[in-house]
Structure 1
């Protein structure tokens, strides 16, 4: 699942490629990808792209009269085909929609077995309910300890679930929640109301540093290499059975919310193994 550091790098890369271009053609291959039934992608033809930015895990393509908001969902991504280059079809990640602009073509792809990509044509990004509900973003310069305290203190909910709750913190998913909790040396299943002020401070520092370091590391990487760069940089997520880079103990897998997550028992749970 794309998370804020990779979506940030993607937004910056697209912004450089397409800002100032006009949309010449749109093609909708999978109608279920468009979530605004009363406003079709066809209305975008002729509009000038004024910028691309990230909002949580969403892309906001700002146009002259409206916005195209893109949710990459669990398996969505973007492929860029420069003008004059052939389109290489990926059967594992087919394009569900495309925008042809002056400089080339943006393909919105989805590698899942069900459609997770979402496209909205709206007056403002906050017209998309998921965007309107977003909580504080750890990549924002103004992100502060108070945001962590407000979201965590007094919560009878597991810490990993709070981190992935977009209304609490924008942009964090399964992978970076594992990385943050490992950096903070906190159990993924401890409830928020069990954390001390010191532990909440450690959580804030880990959130800020892990995500900002990742965003800086991804900047400038070609967009077709970003997913692999994320995978390669993980210290515990996806590393079950390998040595923890901090204590050399064994990183363990556990099931969380229908998916697999990872943690270090020595660093995070006092040796307790999670089921």
Structure 2
């Protein structure tokens, strides 16, 4: 799933290529992807793109009083095209969800792999008209996301587990499964530790790790083409999706906890005092 660093890199990529261009064609290939109907996709045709912004994991292209906003979900991606295909998109065929062509012939496609269709496209007059955007928490790299603000977030979360707090988009916008694993590893904290159970030093360490991990991920992606961002993300991860490999910090074996539709990875040596966390899925099988 693209998370804040990849989405921010896509924003910069699109801003360089889209601002000043005019929508020529918008072709919907997956009708389930379009979540709004008050303003049709065709309402964007002929409008000039004036800005590209990010809200959490959402990207949005702004025009004259309208926004094209989209969330790539778990299996979605954006493919840039220097020359968009002239043949009309065929609904229901393959991974294509939306094709956008500009007045100079360039454009992009939104695609989604797999059978679960969760990619979301919105055409709205205000970004706040998208409920998931309106309810987003603060951006963790914004200037007002201070240590004091972060401390208050953890206090308000009570005994909720750190992993879940970091991933809750209503609490902090943009962090997903992968970077929450990386942040907690860098801070040497268990993903299951209660949010209100940290010392002041641990809160400061977690705050610094959060800002550093996200900032460094964005820096690594600077200047990369959209097609290269997935590979860069994978190569930069130390623990996420690396169960069974050696921890690059302590040399111990990276472990995993599995859930119904996801998993987390962590280093017992760095994060839990050498103790393995209970694998919820395996525990159920053994009962």
Please, what TM-score do these two structures have when normalized by structure 1?
0.94
Point out 4+ residue stretches in structure 1 off by more than 4 angstroms.
84-87
Q: How far 1:143 moved relative to its partner?
A: 2.0
Which is worse superposed, 175-184 or 98-107?
A: 98-107
Question: What is residue 122 of structure 2 aligned with on the other side?
Answer: 120
- Aligned alpha-carbon RMSD (Å): 1.9
Deviations 1:211-258 (A, max 9, x none): 001011111111011011101110000111111111111111112463
Deviations 1:112-153 (A, max 9, x none): 312111111111111111111111111223321122212212
Which is worse superposed, 92-101 or 42-51?
A: 92-101
Distance 1:266 1:225, change over 3 A: same
Question: What is residue 229 of structure 1 aligned with on the other side?
Answer: 232
- Number of corresponding residues: 273
Distance 2:101 2:86 in 1: 13
Please, what TM-score do these two structures have when normalized by structure 2?
0.91
Distance 1:93 1:159 in 2: 38
Deviations 1:34-81 (A, max 9, x none): 111222211111111112121110001111121111111111111111
Equivalent residues of 1:93, 1:112 under 8 A apart: no
Distance 1:258 1:83 in 2: 37
Which is worse superposed, 50-59 or 93-102?
A: 93-102
Q: Secondary structure of the equivalent of 1:153? A: helix
What 5-or-longer segments of structure 1 have no aligned partner? none
Q: How far 1:83 moved relative to its partner?
A: 2.7
Question: What is residue 160 of structure 1 aligned with on the other side?
Answer: 163
Which is worse superposed, 163-172 or 101-110?
A: 101-110
Question: What is residue 141 of structure 1 aligned with on the other side?
Answer: 143
Deviations 1:143-169 (A, max 9, x none): 211222122125121110000000111
